[in-house]
Chains A and B, each alone.
Chain A
Amino acid sequence: MRRAALLLALCAACDPGPGSLHHRRDPGALVVAQPSDIVSLDLARVTDSESIEVAQTIFDGLVRWRPGTTDVEPGLATWQVSADGKRWTFLLRDGVHFHDGTTLDADAVVFSFERLLDPKHPYYLGGAGDYWRALLKDVTTVEAIDPRTVEIDVARPYAPLLGDLAIFPIVSPTAVRRWGDDFQNHPVGSGPYAFESWSPGEQVVLHRFDDYWDGSAGLERIVFEVVGDARQRLVDLESGSVDLATSILPDELPFVELHPDLQLHHAPGNDVSYLAFNFDHPPFDDVRVRRAANLAINKEPIVKLAFQGRATAADGALPPTSWAYHRATVTYGFDIEAGKKLIAEAVADGKLDPNQTFKLYAPTTPRLYMSQPERVARFLQAGLERVGLHTELVLQPYQQHRASVEHGEHDMCVFGWIGDTGDPDDFLYTLFDRDNAQPGEAQNVAFYRDAHVHDLLIQAQGAIAQDQRADLYAQVQDQLALDAVWVPIAHGELVVAGRAELDNVIVSPTGSPVYQLIRRLENR
């Protein structure tokens, strides 16, 4: 009996039992909590940030961004451009393979473009590719010169092409032919991670591509888990079942910062928030009024109090991380008295009725670049009031607000912009060129139509050398500051929360970490 009892005790003791903390999940896997599921894995089809984030680790572009910036560097190819800027020649890297083992060559590149641009292509993407077709509208032909060389002809000199190509996916033609439309569920690219599985609504699993041309990634797997609830994402992160979480609530950021096991990773956002004047509504066609408003706004407390400190005060449209950023020669400090003086001059000239109240449009919906737009609007209102500009707020949900300002209903408006491609053209041409100042569909909601600026912007699109472009954009930025087209407010800051044991987490300006660089520290 005693022996039997002892034997039983032995068996019980040997059973490891459930729930032991020491047998946690696979340390080679990086688990990322995302707020919503992906839509598709074909990077050429998707526009939502979750899908882009996942798909970008599967696909490479011809060129890529230097980690943490939007500077373009050679990716799958190096490039040359003809003197007239209309022909781009890409020389493909040797020995690059897709995840299915096929070799990347010029035909694969041409295939990737043609399925987007050529309606007669058997795998034409159709409506799903509208976004990319708009970006690449100037591309006329894409041609394979030899197995390692691709030529892209554009209708007009267009320097921002490179920025576009940094996120345009080169796909494996073999895989597209095999899967057809279902390629979006079986993506095959040449990126640092290869697709493994997707359980819709639950998770996407990628595994390290050991044959990656730029050295294999740090961790064996990435698991993108869908965790809809923001608070749950934080709980998972804290318990260690998740390594990285995006879209943490602003209120929770102090918790992450205070917690010794967690770390907050910052990156300057590729965005801008601003107060725009409507040039079509006098007196905002008067530069003195616009300058006075600039002098009236103290940006520092706004950034600290209305952006939870997760932003930097802006002095222009371009974020300081952009290679074309130029600190304008003319700047406006916080100077109420100087502002008042300018207003007085305008009143004296009869340009401004001191009793007039202007409509200041602002959205009520939090945006990525501005979590408390209404509060910002009130701070602005208070500032404007102090130099003698009376305003009333028109607060609307984002969609209505957007429609209103695109139609030019506002005298002034609070608005923002998130860059798509990282090229300065994406900010300056889109937001300040007269081409984009058509009421009803305006992106240039200041309705600023300066011919000189237009010339400079077009010239910069056609110029190919980056220093030449930088020079042109510096001139544009000086002119914009001189004309005080906006009161630039802030550039947001992107945050990703992660476990403290992760190393080398570099957040790119698009907000997603550069996954292949992430390592896990061993001694934690």
Chain B
Amino acid sequence: MSDGRKPPIRPTPLPPTPGGATGFELDVQTSPSRKMRMLTTRLPRILHAPTPELRLRLRTKLVVAMIIAALVPVAIVAALASGVILSNLEEGLRDDADRQLTVALNLLVRSVERLGDETVQMSESPELVVAIEGGQRAAGSGGTVYPAPPEIVRRTLDAWLGNEAAHVPSSRLQVLDPRGAIMFDRVIGGGSERFKDAGVLADDPAVAAGETWSRTVRLVAVGDHVIVRAVAPIVDANLALRGVLVLSTPLDGELADSIKGALSADVLIGGTSGDLAVTFRSPLGRRGEPVELAPADRDAALRGQRIHEELDTSTGRYTVTATRLLDNGEKPVGIVGVGVDRGPLAATKRLAIRSLVLGGGGALLFALVLALVWSRRLGAPIQRLHRGAIAVSRGDLDHRIEMPGTDELTDLATAFNQMTSTLKDNQARLAARMREIVALHDAGRAVSSVIDLDQVSRKIVDAVARTFDVQLVALWIGGSEARPGDGDDLRPSAARARRADVSSALATDDSLAAATTLTPFAKRAAAARAPVRLERAADDPTDGAAAVTAGSPGPLVALPLDRKARVVGVLAVSRAVKDGAVREFTDAEMNLLATFADQAGAAVENAVLYQEVRGASEELERKVRLRTAELTAINSELGRALADLRETQAQLVLSERMAGLGMLVAGVAHEINSPTAAIRGSIDGVAAAVQRISKHGADMVSRAPSPEVADRVARLLDAMVPPLAERPMVTGLVARKAGREMATALDKHGLDRELANDLADLGATADDIARLAAALGPATHLAPSAVGALTDRVYLARTASTVRTAVSQIQRIVGALKSYSHLDQQATRSDADLHEGLETTLALLHHALRDIVVERRFGTLPHVPVFVDELNQVWTNLIQNAQQALAGRAARGSIAIETTATGDGWVSVKVIDDGPGVPADVLPRIFEPFFTTKPKGEGSGLGLGIARRIVAKHGGELRCESVPGRTCFEVRLPISTASSIAEGDAS
């Protein structure tokens, strides 16, 4: 504490501990850097609030992290590697043992099998039978064999064995006679001690197989040992059994030695219980002690599994793999195994572990040193940076960090220094900017609070004068009040200058004069539409003189007040030359001036616009008054025109109707004319005919031979006239042909053949002539009178009929006219049969339709409530239209009238013609009033328009479809009264 340091911050007061040792003590003690600690303790408010926990310092952390980083991978890798390597080695050892065991088994089985082969071969040797007989050749078939004395047999067998033994493996050889008694017993190639227990006893069951000629090789368990026993029968040429040959050898260490030679491992062999003989050798070559397997392993091996076990013996450590030996493929009799020396593996293990430990230690040491060095090298610059950061945060922006070197920390220091200086610049700029913004704000508020142009100008000039250190401020406003131009008509509006002798005040007194002097310079800026900036106005070739006159020889700036491509004014500012020093306008000042100019422009424009708007609104009011008067006059004119128009329209409609009526009248006149002419024509002939008849009658009476004859003829004539009158008139060829027949018939009855033509014209027949002749009897001279009377009476009858017809025709026309004009009904809506109206119309138009085939396709229609006469005009218009469309064509046209009840409350009447059709461009216009394609005078162009209006009045519709060859006008009318009336009234 004596050096002035404060103790570490203790966030909570700790009770003093007896030893004085706390977590913070540890911090102090382990701290290698005093400066660092000083910083963290002295600047608690600048840094984060002191942490309440134990603070491990960066260097410690770095050291710990680097050690962990170095050691953990090493430890993991070492553990993994050693584990994997060792387990692989272990596995490899087992695999090797497995392979060795497979080979060992093969060798063992082969050597066992070889013993059997040897036994079979020896037993088949012909000399053996001879030897058994004691050297005597066995007698041939049927011969008697006398057993030779045993010594002789043994001698001969020894002699035989002497020849054979060379290739027989070490074993005990026994020969038994067919009854099972041992005749011969020798050990081949070895000491008798080894084979002591190997041999068979007399009547051994193993031999019984041989007695049934079987050759066997068996593994026999004898006590703890396993004996290989090969048995083969000895037979003579007749297959008679002469003995049994047995070769036995124990599966012991010596046999195992013979197998070991072909292996790279040791062999273990033994019975189902007890120790296993081994081929292990001590360094001095002494055979190892027999070993014992763990009971569990032994049992597993005897069950047929391959077991693995580690054995520790006096001669070394071995990995043992073992399995069982089977007798006859069935019964386990022993165990065979191989042992692989674990010595090399153990050495490898030791080496690996030692290397790993050494490596790990080295890595730890290396990491520690590296960590210390680097933590020191990293710590110091960080402290310097830290100090710098604190200095800056306290506001010392002139603090610089010195950091030599080229690494990232140097970069960091450089960046820090740059950051500090930038911060400083920015702070200065920020302050200047603040001032400007305040000035602008003031200026803005000042200029926008007034709308009078002069006042605005003054405010602008004042604001600029306040904000900038200037000699002269002047503002020009462009042009007339109504339309400011582009600088041609600039006039000084306001100005303020610093008097040469009084430095503090600015006055307007002389300044306007100065501004007027500078007007050319202002125009220059307005023309350029960009700020004009003179460093020394006095030196300027164009405006230098004016500037000097205006008292502004120094820096001079003019800015156009540019508003939407229109210069509304110019702002000029000059600065005094103080003591010969020229202080130019800086870029920042220019920017600010530009902003001023913008605002000033806006204010000036607003003021100008305001003046303009006020003027314009007065003008507008005046104009509106004038226009209203004009409109009133025009309106009354239009009213009159409309009335005229309505009148004209009514006249037109009437004239259309009259035109239709005229046509109708023409037709009706013709219709009435024709029957009238017919009647008149008939009447003329009647009088003459009556005269002739009375003459003929008188003639006949006078010339008749008797009144009876005259009476008879008269009755005959009475009877003949009516049928003849009804017969059609015959003419031409038919008449001539009939004339010839008549002549023949007249000749036949002795009548005058001159009468033939008259009779033929009457349409009389030969029969009539016969009847006439009969009535006349011999008074043939009366024939001409009779025929004359007949002819005239028939003529009279026919004329009467003609007149009747004509009269009824006239009656019909008159009726139709009456019906058409609906004279017999009131002009109100009434239920009507549409067919009746159609028929009436067709009748009236009969004359016009004479060259046209009219087809009626009438359906069954209900009565429809209509204004009958109005609707008749519709039919007239449509049919007339169709007729006119067909007129002038070479071929006969046809009109079809089709009526249907549509079933949904409507009836439909179609008028269809096969005329050329309405062109597509005309079709939309056909219902327009006055639209017509007919030549002038033929139609008013109102017909279809009127028809549509009438139909609409009925609540129906009129439509037209047209293609060349088929034009169809369809009238649809509602059956329901309610809707049609309502709609009709509405229309």
Contact = CB atoms under 8 A, between A and B. Distances in A.
Contacts of A367: none
Interface in B302-338: 304-305, 323-326, 328-329
A302 B113 CA distance: 22
Interface in A10-49: 10, 13-14, 17, 20-22
Contacts of A524: 304-305
Contacts of A383: 238-239
Contacts of A264: 329
B141 interface: yes
Contacts of B106: 238, 259
A263 B359 contact: no
Contacts of B241: 301
A304 B212 contact: yes
A301 B239 contact: yes
B214 A254 contact: no
A503 interface: no
A386 interface: yes
A239 B88 CA distance: 23
A309 interface: yes
A385 interface: yes
Given A20-B91, A264-B329, A6 B215 contact: no
B155 to A, nearest CB: 28
A255 B111 CA distance: 10
A2 interface: yes
Contacts of A308: 215
A386 B73 contact: no
Contact of B359 (A2, A14, A21, A304): A2
A3 interface: yes
Given A6-B77, A309-B214, A309-B215, A13 B84 contact: yes
A20 B92 CA distance: 8
Nearest to A258: B109
Interface residues of A, number: 40
A385 B141 contact: yes
A258 to B, nearest CB: 5
Contacts of A10: 77, 80-81, 84
Nearest to B235: A301
B80 A3 contact: no
B77 to A, nearest CB: 5
Contacts of B981: none
B305 A523 contact: yes
B184 interface: no
Interface in B337-394: 359, 362-363
Contacts of A258: 109, 112-113, 217, 219, 326, 329
B305 A260 contact: no
A3 B237 contact: no
Given A20-B95, A304-B214, A309-B214, A9 B109 contact: no
Nearest to B218: A258
A7 interface: yes
A379 B84 contact: no
Contacts of B99: 21
Contact of A13 (B88, B213, B235, B305): B88
23 contacts: A2-B74, A3-B73, A3-B74, A5-B359, A6-B78, A6-B359, A17-B88, A22-B91, A238-B106, A239-B102, A255-B109, A255-B110, A258-B112, A258-B217, A259-B105, A260-B304, A260-B324, A260-B326, A298-B239, A304-B214, A304-B215, A308-B215, A382-B239
A13 B92 CA distance: 12
Of the four ranges (under 10, 10 to 19, 20 to 34, 35 or more), the interface on chain B belongs to 35 or more
B325 A13 contact: no
B294 interface: no
Interface in A252-277: 254-255, 257-261, 263-264
Contact of A21 (B98, B237, B323): B98
Contacts of B324: 260
Contacts of A385: 141
Given A3-B74, A382-B237, A257 B80 contact: no
Nearest to B366: A2
Contacts of A6: 74, 77-78, 81, 359
A263 B304 CA distance: 13
B642 interface: no
A143 interface: no
Given A238-B106, A304-B214, A382-B238, A22 B95 contact: yes
A386 B84 CA distance: 77
B215 A500 contact: no
Given A6-B78, A10-B84, A302 B109 contact: no
Please give me the 6 A-B residue pairs with the lowest Cβ-Cβ distance, nearest first.
Answer: A13-B84, A304-B213, A301-B213, A21-B95, A301-B239, A10-B81
Contacts of B58: none
Interface string B201-241: 00000000000111101010000000000000101011101
Nearest to B92: A20
B85 A13 contact: yes
Contact of B81 (A9, A304, A379): A9
Nearest to A263: B329
Contacts of B554: none
A257 B88 contact: no
B854 to A, nearest CB: 80
Given A21-B98, A254-B217, 19 more contacts: A3-B363, A5-B359, A6-B74, A6-B78, A9-B85, A10-B80, A14-B84, A20-B91, A22-B91, A258-B329, A259-B106, A260-B105, A260-B323, A301-B239, A304-B215, A308-B215, A309-B214, A379-B239, A524-B305
A300 interface: yes
A389 to B, nearest CB: 12
A6 B74 CA distance: 8
B235 A305 contact: yes
Contacts of B560: none
Contacts of A21: 95, 98-99
B116 interface: yes
Nearest to B141: A386
Nearest to B70: A3
A118 B362 CA distance: 90
Interface in B763-816: none
Contacts of B84: 10, 13-14
Contacts of B215: 304-305, 308-309
A264 B329 CA distance: 8
Contacts of B80: 10, 13
A500 B77 contact: no
Contacts of A254: 113, 116, 217
Contacts of A301: 213, 233, 235, 239, 241
Contacts of A3: 73-74, 77, 363
A3 to B, nearest CB: 7
Contacts of A22: 91, 95
A162 to B, nearest CB: 36
Contacts of B239: 298, 301-302, 305, 379, 382-383
A33 B359 CA distance: 54
B439 to A, nearest CB: 70
